[in-house]
Every structure is written in structure tokens, then in C-alpha cells.
Chains A and B, each alone.
Chain A
Amino acid sequence: MPARLLVPFGFEWIKRKVDALVERRIGPPLLQPVYDWFKLWGNETLLPDGAGIFFRLAPWLLFLCSLVAVYVASIRPPWALLELLALLSTMTLLKMFLARAVTSPFTIHGLGRLGSMKLALDPAFPLAFLAAAFLWGFDMNWPLKAAILLPLAVATALAELELPPFDLSHAKSELVAGWKTELSGRWLALVTYAENARMVAVSLMLAALLGPTHLWLKATLIFTLLSALSIALPRMHLAKAIRWLSFLNVLALAEVIACLSWASWLV
């Protein structure tokens, strides 16, 4: 478990290196994410006026949920899939409560966007994972399985993880930091860690659904793919993002039916 605590930092380093590669920069050294996190932890933590108790509690709960999510995701599916989906939904709810605990127009707007994105996405994301779960256990080579399952799973994962082009709930140029606007110091450090760990958990789960071998290698590749896509795509307009998510729902349903039929045929 203690080693798993450090995993999100390693993956964050990969993300920052991928960002730098696309932007033709050098990127940070290996321990930079750890240093940055502890520096953030040591910064002054400000409590906004009128912030409720939940504002103080939610970052810790998010942090704990993310730890459990990484742990659960590294246990082989399909048994952990439902637990992970429940944890991810719990984390979204916690973020909503966190945003509601303060009365800033930016957090309120971020909350609204988070809610509408989650509602639009909710069937597609679990369905994309469910489709992968149907094929789990069958003797197929994992690159073939990845070619079939990954496009939709990655697209929905980008939206679930609030990464570009679906980073509308905390769009910097529009809402400052959206639902995260009022966080500072150690609360922001906890939430940042939780966000990274969530991305690792989703990558691990997707990797595990592709087959039982080379789990960490596959998770790293999937994480790198998510990072590369998120830096290479511009943020979508809200109206367009909602339309896209609706389209993903249809695709996810079609994929579930196709995978279920295929699985029955293989049996």
C-alpha cells in the first residue's frame, strides 16, 4: 500500500513529460511532481467566507476514495469494476458537495457543468467498461482487444476524468478553476493528488480489462494515450461537448450489444 501512494506521482511525471513533448519543452525531472505536491501542501490554506464543514471534509474524503480506487483497480476485474465505478461516482458527488459548500459564482458554475456533464456521460462510461468486461477472460491477444475496445473507452474516460476536450467544469480561461476555485494549500494538494490517482485508477482498470498480463505496462500505455489526447485537443464548447457525449452514449450501447453477442458466440 505505501508504494501505491507514490504511483500517482510517477504517472503525473509521465503526463507532464508528454505535455512537454507536444509543446516542445523539456519537461520536469522525475521527482518534480513530489516536490510540487509537498510545496503545495506547505502553502497557506485559506478558508473562504461562509464555507461549510463539508468544504474541509471533502478534500480528505476525495483523497481516501482515490487511494481505494487505485487499490481496487489494481485487483483484477471484472469483480473490481463495479466497485471502481461506484467510487468514481462517489468522487463526483463529493466534488459537487465541495463546490456547493462555498458561494463563489465560479464554483457554482463549475458545479452546474460538472452535473450536466456527468448526467450526459453517465450511461456511456459504465457501458464502455461493461463491454470490455464481457470480453474479459476470453483468450484473445490484448492488442486486438485494445483496438476494439479502447477508442470508446478512452473517449468516455477523457470525459469522466474531466480532461480536455471535456475539461469544462474547471476551464481555466472561463471559470478560473470551476469547482476547485476556492481550494488552496493542503486541500488543493489533496484534491490534486486525488485527481491524478483517479486517472491512474481508470488506466489500471482499462488495462486489466484488456487481459491479465502486463498490467502496469498496459496501464502506462493507456495513461500516456490519455495524456497525449488531452494535451493535443482543444477544449470543446459546452453545447458541442453535450452533443458529443450523447453520441458516445449511442455508440456505447451499440458496443455493449456487439460485445455481448460476440461473447455468447465465443462461449
Chain B
Amino acid sequence: MPKISLPFGPYHPALGEPEYFQVVVDGENIVAVDFDLGYNYREMEKKVLNFIWDKATHFLGRICGICSSAHTQAFTLAVEKVNGMEVPPRAKWIRTFGAEIERISSHLLWLGLFGEMAGFEPLFYLSWGAREHALNILEKFGGRRVHYAYMAFGGVHQDLKPTPGMEAELRGLKQKYEEIREMVMASDLLADRFRGVGVVTPQQARDYGLVGPTARGSGVNNDIRKDMPYNSYEEHDFTVPIYKGGDSYARAMVRLDEIRESIRILEQIVNGLPKGKLTSVNSFTKSRLGEATQSVEAPRGENFHFVRAGELTPQFLRVRPPTFANLSVIPEMLKGRMVSDVPVVISSIDPCFACTDRVILIDRSDKSIREVQL
């Protein structure tokens, strides 16, 4: 049988964002997989160099709509390192609250899409229904459902006031999460789509430098919140879920367990938020010159920012989002699998292409476009 190239992308129902996966198949069996990045390139690292500090933070939140907080936190923490700023304990707890509610929102969004990829639409609607609670909490706390701009240098802009409404949303979220978890665990037919599919061994996970739930699903204990604690993570009681299966099911279970742990952290914050100031500086307009790096645990894994600070604006910024680290293992995961597994495997790493597409080169002479691997 002749080999056919199946184009998964740039626009395909299996991909939430434009990206290109070339899947060469012999009948239903996958022979080779390659991917091409760059369809979401927006020149953000270059544009941010023109913005004053406060504006730069808000702008970097737009790198991604789902892990907006992870980018603003990594950037702000790096600039605070350069300037030796102290952050008040209350602000640290509020930052943790923002990061964890974002993790829940991101994981529930992913779970819905994961169900959709396996042809199970009810999971999509139920997960996104539960996610509404997380978005309502974000709206009450940050003023918006996406691109919540609560981060400020030296603290936070918005205070967290646990109201009965917010607590009711948290209870609703917890209840719906338990229902969804029960449904996923109970369905053998659904689990069959994920078990043994896209296996990554612990050695491969280390060799490819995988991060986040993708690595933890292969038994690699790798979580920035525990390894290099920031915000108030040291003060909270939570565990890092680790599964050793290495398949899509293990990665799904890691994320499902993480939602439960994040809810635990949120409850601790709502019940024990320390009193005090929201920020240590009134306004931040001039920075010391210097450079710093900061990693935060975004919902998809380690999100790394390198910042060189100028006086009024950043001088240089480089972002290494988690999907960039995880994407390279996809051809390995699909080796020897069938076409039916492609959407499940791609979505099992929870890719975010808006975060990933960072640098692109255009050769003026022949107008060719090339993605630069950093």
C-alpha cells in the first residue's frame, strides 16, 4: 500500500491552535511524524522591549490566555530578583491563589479537549461546566475571566477577599470535579483509548528534558513548586502526583490529581490568608540594571523567563515555555501507533502553541521562513 501523508494542521479539529504535524501513514499505521512550528509567532519578546515595566507585565500576560498568570509571575519574579524587592506575605499567598486557580482552569479545559479527542463529547461539556466555577472565582478575584492582571512589582494589584459567593463557587468546583473524576475512572471504554498509548519511559523523559505533568506521568519527580519554591508554596501542604505508566492515561491521571491538590491549596489560602500589605512599593518605574532568570510551575510544566533589565524597559527577554520542552517527544510517542492515536497523543501533553512559537527568522533574499530552536 502506498504511503500517504496526513496533514494534522495547520488547521485541524485535533488542534486548538494552528500548528502543523505531518503524519506519514501506511494504511492505518504511522510510519513517520514530523512537526513544524511558527504559525502562532507574534514577536512578543521583541515588542515587550518597548514597554515600560507595568505595561510589560500586562503585555506578557497575553502570551497565553490559559497560563497568563504563569508568564506574568515568572517575569515579575525575575525583575524583583534584579531589584532585590521583598514581597509581603499576603501578596505571596494571593499570587499562589492566582496560580492555582489558573492551574485548575487550565487542567479542566484540557480534560474537556482530551475527551473530545477520544470522541467523548459529554466529558467536554461537563469539564467546561466545572471550569465555569474556576472562571467565576477568577472574575471575582482578578476582575476578568482571562488575562487577569493582578500581578504588580513588589506584590499584587488586587486583594483577595474570600466572600461566601467565592466559597460557594469553590464548593461547586470541588463537587463537579469529583463527579467528573468518578466518570473518567468508571469508563473502561474511555480508559482503553488512553492506556498504553504514547508511552514515554522515565529515561526518555529525562533525555528529552520533559517537564510538568508530561514528565510526572513517566515517573519523573519534577515540580518547580517543590524543587525551587517561590510565592508561598513552602507554607502549603500539598503533594505532587506522580504516575509511572508513562502513557496518556498516566498523564491524564496526573492532571486529574493535580486539580484535587490545587483545590486543597486554595482552601488553605481561603482559610488562612495572612493579614498585611499588598505591595512593598508604591510604584515601579525605574529598575536597576541587571539580569535574572525565573522558573515557575505553569499548568503544563516549567515556564522559564530570562530577563535583562534596562532602566525604564526590559532590554532583553527570552521565554522557554513548557510545551517547547514537551513537543519534541511526540514523534517518539507516535512511533508504531495508529492514526486513531494521533489526537489522543498530541493532546496528552496539553500543548499550548501560542506559548511555544517564540522566534522566527525570515530570509529576505528568498523569503523563506525558519523557526529558531532555542
Interface residues of A (CB under 8 A from B): 19, 22-25, 105-106, 108-109, 112, 164-165, 167-168, 171-176, 231-240
Give min CB distance, A164 to chain B, whole Å.
6
**With A168-B340, A171-B119, A173-B119 as given contacts, are A234 and B6 in contact (CB-CB < 8 Å)?**
no
**Cβ of B334 under 8 Å from chain A:** no
* Chain A positions within 8 Å of B342 at CB level: 174
* Chain B positions within 8 Å of A168 at CB level: 340
**Cβ of B338 under 8 Å from chain A:** yes
**With A173-B117, A174-B343, A176-B13 as given contacts, are A234 and B189 in contact (CB-CB < 8 Å)?**
yes
Interface residues of B (CB under 8 A from A): 4-7, 12-14, 25, 27-28, 115-126, 129, 187, 189-190, 192-193, 338-343
CA gap between A240 and B187 in the complex, in Å: 15
The 6 closest A-B pairs by CB, nearest first: A235-B119, A234-B120, A23-B125, A173-B343, A173-B117, A173-B14
B118 touches A235 (CB 8 A): yes
CA gap between A108 and B6 in the complex, in Å: 10
* Chain B positions within 8 Å of A237 at CB level: 192-193, 338, 340-341
A109 touches B189 (CB 8 A): no
Of residues A23, A164, A231, A239, which shows the largest number of chain B Cβ atoms within 10 Å of its Cβ?
A: A23
CA gap between A235 and B123 in the complex, in Å: 12
Give min CB distance, A86 to chain B, whole Å.
30
A234 touches B4 (CB 8 A): no
CA gap between A197 and B7 in the complex, in Å: 32
B190 touches A105 (CB 8 A): no
CA gap between A174 and B340 in the complex, in Å: 6
- 18 example contacts (A-B, Cβ-Cβ < 8 A) are as follows A22-B122, A23-B124, A23-B126, A24-B129, A105-B6, A106-B6, A109-B6, A109-B25, A165-B189, A173-B116, A174-B340, A174-B342, A233-B189, A234-B119, A234-B187, A234-B193, A237-B192, A238-B339
Of residues B7, B122, B190, B340, which shows the largest number of chain A Cβ atoms within 10 Å of its Cβ?
A: B340
A105 touches B5 (CB 8 A): yes
* Chain A positions within 8 Å of B119 at CB level: 164-165, 167, 171-173, 234-235
Give min CB distance, A166 to chain B, whole Å.
10
Q: How many A-B residue pairs have CB under 8 A?
A: 80
Nearest chain B residue, comparing its CB with the CB of A233:
B189
B340 touches A23 (CB 8 A): no
A24 touches B125 (CB 8 A): yes
CA gap between A25 and B7 in the complex, in Å: 33
* Chain B positions within 8 Å of A109 at CB level: 4, 6, 25, 339
B340 touches A234 (CB 8 A): no
Nearest chain B residue, comparing its CB with the CB of A20:
B125
B192 touches A240 (CB 8 A): yes
A236 touches B189 (CB 8 A): yes
Give min CB distance, B178 to chain A, whole Å.
16
Given contacts A24-B129, A236-B192, A236-B193, list 12 more A-B pairs with CB under 8 A: A19-B121, A23-B121, A172-B13, A173-B116, A174-B343, A233-B120, A233-B189, A234-B119, A234-B189, A235-B118, A237-B193, A239-B340
Give min CB distance, B223 to chain A, whole Å.
30
CA gap between A76 and B25 in the complex, in Å: 47
CA gap between A131 and B307 in the complex, in Å: 73
CA gap between A19 and B13 in the complex, in Å: 20
B118 touches A234 (CB 8 A): yes
A232 touches B6 (CB 8 A): no
CA gap between A240 and B28 in the complex, in Å: 13
CA gap between A167 and B118 in the complex, in Å: 11
B339 touches A174 (CB 8 A): yes
* Chain A positions within 8 Å of B27 at CB level: 112
A105 touches B121 (CB 8 A): no
B28 touches A232 (CB 8 A): no
B189 touches A171 (CB 8 A): no
Nearest chain B residue, comparing its CB with the CB of A168:
B340
* Chain B positions within 8 Å of A164 at CB level: 119
Nearest chain B residue, comparing its CB with the CB of A235:
B119
